[in-house]
Amino acid sequence: MGFRVDNPGILTTIQDGGRFGYEKFGVSPSGAMDFISFTQANILADNPNDESALELTIAGATLTFDSECVIAITGADMSPTINGQPCEMYRALKLNPGDVLKLGFVKNLCRSYIAFHGGLDVPQIMASRATAIQNHIGQKLQRGDHIDIRSSDSPVRNFETRAITPTSSLLTPNSIRVILGPQADAFTDEGIENFLSQPYKVSKDFDRMGYRLEGAKIAHKNDCNIISDGMVTGAIQVPGSGQPIIMMSERQTIGGYTKIAVVITADLPLVGQSKEGDILKFKAVSVKEAHEALREVHKGFDDLRASLDTPRANPNASYYRIKVDGRAFNVSVERL
């Protein structure tokens, strides 16, 4: 039991924490482009952090449910509705058989995530349920597809109060932190200065494989080509044009262009939520700073789960989620 896809949107795929250990065979990790929103959705749905979920790009899908389930929607605001009525993002939502969930075009950012309590019941391939279009593993959702939801052994804890405020860092302009290298010495001082001081615009050529940027030329000392070597998610290649390309979730596993820097893992969601015309600026940081930033992200996940899973203090109270002047609040009403 699960849902039928009435409208798949522009690009809706099943993603999880990623497929690792197969790059020697040319298989990219894939996984969510914005792992922060993806993980928050799973925590809200009372799932493991890396459980399978839907990733929707630019324009959302329309889904009709044939069973009761609990979901959570995070990331880009696609004006979600249930049976034509607006529904709240960043909270656990209950759907019943016959309910229709519809998401439209993005108001901000680029990608939304829908997590389902229990996860999606699709086969694991190489220990992952993630769609990898470039590697022909799975495919984007099609009209008429039916996706099952795996049953869970336990109900969603604290359903009425399972809600949070969106992550502000994804909603405000910010510098993308990078670690220079591994071929930073292949560029002129002026080229590196341009890279770290000038804004770069996301071109029309952006997808789950990579982002081509437009801006000040990043000059090489000599040739842009190297003997092909290993690629990592977030690597920034610079071909002969001098225009950088950020490699993303479905990147190739090796590459033959010089790489000026690598986006730190904690900031990959900022890139993954960017779309054509958005402006990115880069800031060099140390490996230590990159590690600290990632530890802070994972601490945030741990703190969030702990706060949502904590049993209610008063079993005689009823809990509600209300909005006042556009702001959402958790409130409790105690029965005397």
pLDDT of residue 275: 95
Q: What is the pLDDT of residue 193?
A: 97
Alpha-carbon distance 42 to 115, whole Å?
A: 5
Give the integer Cα–Cα distance in Å for 133 and 128: 14
The per-residue pLDDT for 211 is 98
Residue 7: strand pairing partners: 62
CATH among 2.40.100.10, 3.40.50.150, 2.60.40.2130, 3.50.50.60 for 175-285? 2.40.100.10
Q: What is the pLDDT of residue 75?
A: 96
pLDDT at position 1 is 84
Q: Which of 116, 75, 119 is nearest to 94 (CA)?
A: 116
Average pLDDT over residues 72-83: 97
Mind listing the pLDDT tens digit for each residue in 271-295? 999 999 999 999 999 999 999 999 9
- Kind of pairing, strands 111-116 and 69-75? antiparallel
**Measuring CA to CA, which residue among 97, 148, 141 is closest to residue 122?**
148
CA dihedral sign, ordered 212, 218, 221, 222? positive
Residue by residue, DSSP assigns 205-265 as: EESSSEEEEEES---BSS-SEEEEEE--TTEEE--TT---EEE-TT--SEEEE-EEEEE-G
Q: Phi first, then psi: what are they for 33, rounded to 5°? A: -75, -30
What pLDDT is stored for residue 139 in this prediction?
92
pLDDT at position 13 over 70: yes
Please report, for the chain, how many H helices and E strands are present, in that order. 4, 22
pLDDT in the model for residue 32: 98
pLDDT digit string (tens) for 23-73? 999 999 999 999 999 999 999 999 999 999 999 999 999 999 999 999 999
- Residue 93 or residue 318, greater confidence: 93
Helix axes 35-44, 287-309, angle to 10 degrees: 20
Average pLDDT, the chain: 92
Task: Please report, rounded to a whole number, the percentage of residues in the chain having pLDDT higher than 90.
Answer: 87
Element (H, E) at 324: strand 317-324
pLDDT computed for residue 333 by the predictor: 66
pLDDT tops 80 at residue 317: no
Q: Give the residue extent of every domain in the chain.
A: 2-167, 175-285
pLDDT of residue 166: 82
